[in-house]
Amino acid sequence: MKRYFLILSSILIHQLAFGQYTEDEWKKRDKWMNIEGILEAMSASEGDIVADLGSHEGYMTLHLSKAVGANGKVYAVDVEKYKLRNLERHMKRRDISNVETVHGDYDNPKLAANSLDAIIIMDAYHEMDDYMTILGHVKNALKPGGRLVMIEEIDSFRKDDTRKAQTRSHDLGINYAKAELAQAGFSIQSEIPDFGRWENKKDKHIWLLVATRPEL
């Protein structure tokens, strides 16, 4: 019985920690997430074709939908079907027709080659075990010169931890991501080590990287 309650408590803590992905939390998240800066980093504009990799229930997808307009398209990719179903309901209620959901594999986002102007991976890269394989698919899906924007969070006291220790705590340092992007053949265009505070928590730093698929 004690073990049961420990497991249940762990599940509840996990759900509370990641509740920001539900629609009820979106307005709160807009207060501390620099959406304008993210869209600028992606260079997302009218008519673009973009992807939200690790879309969850569609927080960033919704912002991208507005940015690319009726002539653009957003592919919302997630490995959890129920999250994509919720996302589809959110879009239907808002009469949004420029979003297409994609049920990806854990090692493959299933995006067409040379098709995207930009891809964002926000607070999801640290969850990817086969990250080098995924980065290969991401690079292949981008048009030459296409942009990948990666956003993660890291506690101040975890910055010197190993990658494994960081990801176990759902964090990731910018140094690991930069090295992996370079290894995958991306060109790092810019980096912002301090892009704000996750949920306005003092020690929870947000970082942002912009990388491109090299021109042919």
For residues 128 and 195, give the distance between their C-alpha atoms in angstroms, rounded to a whole number: 22
Q: Which one, of 145, 94, 96, 93, lies nearest residue 119 by Cα?
A: 145
For residues 209 and 191, give the distance between their C-alpha atoms in angstroms, rounded to a whole number: 4
Residue 23, pLDDT score? 75
Locate the domains of the chain by residue range: 22-212
Residue 216, pLDDT score? 72
Residue 73, pLDDT score? 98
Residue 162, pLDDT score? 97
For residues 210 and 44, give the distance between their C-alpha atoms in angstroms, rounded to a whole number: 13
Residue 17, pLDDT score? 38
For residues 2 and 115, give the distance between their C-alpha atoms in angstroms, rounded to a whole number: 52
For the domain covering 22-212, report its CATH number: 3.40.50.150
Quick: pLDDT tens for 18-61.
334 577 788 899 999 999 999 999 999 999 999 999 999 999 99
Residue 10 has pLDDT above 60, yes or no: no
Lowest mean pLDDT segment, chosen from 4-13, 135-144, 189-198: 4-13
Residue 116 has pLDDT above 90, yes or no: yes
Enumerate the β-bridge partners of residue 151. 122, 208
HSE on the CB side for 138, CA within 13 Å?
32
Banded model confidence at residue 170, pLDDT cuts 50, 70, 90? very high
For residues 166 and 177, give the distance between their C-alpha atoms in angstroms, rounded to a whole number: 12
Residue 137, pLDDT score? 98
Task: Compare 133 and 11 and report the one with higher pLDDT.
Answer: 133
Residue 21, pLDDT score? 55
Residue 7 has pLDDT above 50, yes or no: no
Residue 114, pLDDT score? 97
